[in-house]
Amino acid sequence: MVTKHTSALTLQVLGNAKAAVAAVVSVLIFRNPVTVMGMAGFAVTIMGVVLYSEAKKRCKVTTH
């Protein structure tokens, strides 16, 4: 039902964002070590979520 109201891509992007946030919270709470590669992965994931959100907003503005 959620996929019907959004899209499969939106759900995938949200799942990636959730995983990145969970990893950051894990680092903050449990002091898990983070590599440079891990930090780069977090950054790329968050940038992708922001870019997708902006693209979706712009698409809605142009279609309405």
pLDDT at residue 64, as a whole number: 65
Amino acid occupying residue 1: M
pLDDT along the chain (64 residues), means of 10: 84 94 94 94 95 91 74
Against a cut of 0.85, is the pTM above it? no
Contact 37, 5 (CB under 8 A): no
Contact 13, 45 (CB under 8 A): no
3-state secondary structure of 12: helix
